[in-house]
Structure 1
Amino acid sequence: MPVIQSLLDTDLYKFTMMQAVLHQYPAAQAEYRFRCRTPGIDLARHLDAISVEIDALCALRLHADELDYLRGLRFIKPDFVDFLGLFRFDRKYVDLRASTDVPGGIDLVITGPWLHTILFEVPLLAIINEVYFRDTHGAPDEAEGLRRLHAKVERINAAVGYEDCRITDFGTRRRYSRAWHEALIPHLVDGLGAKFAGTSNVDLARRHGLVAQGTMAHEWLQAFQALGPRLRDSQAAAFDAWAQEYRGDLGIALTDVIGLDAFLRDFDLYFCKLFDGMRHDSGDPVEWGERLIAHLQAHRIDPRTRTLVFSDGLDIERVMQLYGHFHGRCRMSFGVGTNLTNDVGPTPLSIVIKMVRCNGQPVAKLSDSPGKTMCDDPGYLAYLRQVFDVPAPAVAS
């Protein structure tokens, strides 16, 4: 069976961003690049198997019942569903080959209309991940995986004062396999009960009666570095465009595309009132939360009316630490990915696909975590730092 069997087997934020692209920037061009952050991994020997899976992905179409499900989501508009009824992946936009620079590495570049390439990221990462683990480690050790999962569930259920803790599955991109991801969901539903808020995976949400969770990803704000009126205003322009599209819905803002300092300078009283919360994805989460709470208070917004979403490399212990630290001071939600869907024994991979160009111009993510910044144009990266007054990271002596 193919790794990807439905076009809904992806994260919700890809569809929410795609709808905004259709309505606002249907002619924009995009380029994405793959990176494996885990050293010493031989992906090149899996190239043929990955290629076969991409061909299978490009043969998929959305079925009538899947389109009907999307129509039932309050923030999805009818014309976008009609467009998705015609959509299919086009292999011509994907260039996949062995790396000439990194032994065992692969070069994967996605180039084409943003509207027609935006959905590639999540299924391609899921394909690469599953092919690697399937061909290297075989089927998952389900007994060990369930033992680990039940230990996490028991740990949080046994803790006093965590009744309002809410955990969401964010694990599609780096899951051990599609089948293992599917198998986990009933255990999370039964084990966590009200503490399980849903999943970012649209297909699993549809078939298991869960809430599909997600808003925007880094690429939405990155693209505005090329689309916005001027670079300095790109972040604010991205938030404005999002608000125009969703009119108060899907109101969680991503904070780490150009670093937290730049975000706080742009996220003024208007945006503090307009958005329901913010999402953390790099840097120290405690420092991040403290600074966000202080920022809201400085703008006379009660932090208890806003949601802080934590989603950076979380495990259950970290979830509990953060919940305990911020409990009663704000609303919270926790997106747990790899530690839920790829914790069966073998060490998970750290792989990403990021937008690197829009309309032929370089774009970048200036992360608050070392190693997460991704840009293939050092000159542009330096210029972006200068414009947003973001210092370069210190070089160890």
Structure 2
Amino acid sequence: MQLHPTFSLTSLLDNDFYKFTMQQGVVKLFPGAKARYAFINRGKHVFPPGFSKALRESVNEMASLKLSREEKLFLQDNCPYLDPVYLDFLEGYRFNPEEVHIEQHGDQLEVHVEGLWYRTILWEVPLMALISELFYKLHHAVRLSDAEVIALTRKKIEGYVRLGVTVAEFGTRRRYAYDVHRLALKALKDHGQGAFIGSSNVHMAMLYQTKPIGTHAHEWFMFHAARYGFKMANAMGLQHWVEVFRGDLGIALSDTYTTEVFFKQFDKMYSKLFDGVRHDSGDALQFADKVINHYHSLGIDPKTKTIIFSDGLNYDKVARIAAYCQDKIGISFGIGTNLTNDVGPEPMNIVIKMTAAHPQDGEWTEVVKLSDEPGKHTGTEQAINLAKTILNIH
């Protein structure tokens, strides 16, 4: 089965920025650590015959991707916190398709990744993007025309301009297709002046001369639990982030083990060091109240801090959050699927999550995520219950 050329990614940087920033941290601090990841089909999607074979071919083609000279210069010019040693490393990095295990059982897909963490950390986002694009292609889905995609995206970003909010595009992992992603970016750049501030996708940021946006993901704190225990995971994760980036990239992700637990450990030092926090699950307005109250309790003016909202956003949610937070705290929005997969067919509900970590001097340890929304928990029931017990989560 020969795949259409657009199925193989064309750039090593066609990935979310936080994967590269975390990779720099892993290379520096945990070069011998290993990780396992698994695909989770939250939406119970049905995969057509031959899907695993098509995905395997796409993954194999990724072995030829490498950082170009132009891409390295873009990172040097726009991301001064990525140090020269790391950029030299990235120049020599190649995807190893043997780290990805793909099986299909009837209409269900299994994907697992295993290997050194500093290598395997880059697989999650492009794998999801490939699964999503192949899914629509092999189901012969029909989408809006290019002109309609541009017009719809223009309407959305002009709405955000009128709201007076800033918006970044976060939609790589569940995009309809690479071509749709580019159409959306073009419309955002052309019509979003004053509102559109950047993309989580480094390749797209380079193509459309905007800012790559991101800091770290749940896996950063999930690994720290495997290495240091659940009670120390947030504090050690934050401490190591500060050690690597020295004050840059200062938005902390707060819901790996629930926001309640996070804020017990996000003390005055971290609250001052970090520019703000990112919301990724649970009720957005309740979260805003928690954050504002937390800063007030420490004598910090919330207006000097920022919340990045990034949980399943659309215009109505953004408008409600913006009105609620006005004059209380700084806000910005990361919008994903609604910008890159709102073209007719139902967006996929899929994730790839770290399932286990092996610190260099440790052993394989199951990891979990305890979201503010129980439906987003990941991990085995036994490991989730253990984490809840240790962290006194009821």
> Same fold per TM (> 0.5)?
yes
Match of 2:139, SS state, is helix
In structure 2, the partner of 1:395 is none
In structure 2, the partner of 1:6 is 11
- The answer on whether the counterparts of 1:94 and 1:110 sit within 8 Å (CA) in structure 2 is yes
CA distance in 1, matches of 2:109, 2:258: 29
Offset of 1:43 from its aligned partner? 5.3
Matched, 1:47 2:46: no
- The answer on whether the counterparts of 1:45 and 1:104 sit within 8 Å (CA) in structure 2 is no
- Aligned partner (choices 374, 378, 381) of residue 374 of structure 1: 378
- The answer on whether the counterparts of 1:168 and 1:199 sit within 8 Å (CA) in structure 2 is yes
In structure 1, the partner of 2:23 is 18
Matched, 1:151 2:155: yes
Instruction: Output one character per residue of 1:135-190: Cα deviation in whole Å (capped at 9) or x when no partner.
Output: 22446322443343233234334x4xx33x10000001111111111112121112
Question: 1:200-349 to 2 correspondence within 5 Å?
Answer: 200-228=200-228, 230-349=229-348
Match of 1:367, SS state, is coil
CA distance in 2, matches of 1:77, 1:43: 44
- The answer on whether the counterparts of 1:44 and 1:106 sit within 8 Å (CA) in structure 2 is no
- The answer on whether the counterparts of 1:145 and 1:345 sit within 8 Å (CA) in structure 2 is no
Match of 2:112, SS state, is strand
Match of 1:356, SS state, is strand
Match of 1:290, SS state, is helix
- Which letter maps to 1:111? E
> 5+ unaligned residues in a row in structure 2: which ranges?
359-363
Q: Structure 1 residues 38-47 or 8-17, which shifts more?
A: 38-47
- The answer on whether the counterparts of 2:150 and 2:183 sit within 8 Å (CA) in structure 1 is no
Match of 1:335, SS state, is strand
Match of 2:205, SS state, is helix
CA distance in 2, matches of 1:315, 1:305: 26
Distance 1:189 1:97, change over 3 A: same
CA distance in 1, matches of 2:48, 2:215: 31
Q: Structure 1 residues 287-296 or 38-47, which shifts more?
A: 38-47
Question: 1:192-203 to 2 correspondence within 5 Å?
Answer: 192-203=192-203
Question: 1:102-113 to 2 correspondence within 5 Å?
Answer: 104-113=107-116
Matched, 1:57 2:66: no
- Aligned partner (choices 136, 145, 170) of residue 139 of structure 2: 136
- Which letter maps to 1:196? F
CA distance in 2, matches of 1:206, 1:40: 33
Offset of 1:44 from its aligned partner? 5.6
- Which letter maps to 2:223? A
CA RMSD of aligned residues (A): 1.4
- The answer on whether the counterparts of 1:252 and 1:275 sit within 8 Å (CA) in structure 2 is yes
- Which letter maps to 1:282? S
In structure 1, the partner of 2:183 is 183
**Superposition misfits of 4+ residues, deviation over 6 angstroms:** none
CA distance in 1, matches of 2:158, 2:24: 39
CA distance in 1, matches of 2:311, 2:69: 35
Instruction: Output one character per residue of 1:34-54: Cα deviation in whole Å (capped at 9) or x when no partner.
Output: 011112422564111111110
- The answer on whether the counterparts of 2:149 and 2:180 sit within 8 Å (CA) in structure 1 is no
Matched, 1:384 2:390: no
In structure 2, the partner of 1:27 is 32
Match of 1:39, SS state, is coil
- TM-score scaled to structure 1, two decimals? 0.93
Offset of 1:241 from its aligned partner? 0.4
Offset of 1:57 from its aligned partner? 1.1
- The answer on whether the counterparts of 2:157 and 2:195 sit within 8 Å (CA) in structure 1 is no
- Which letter maps to 1:309? I
Aligned residues: 382
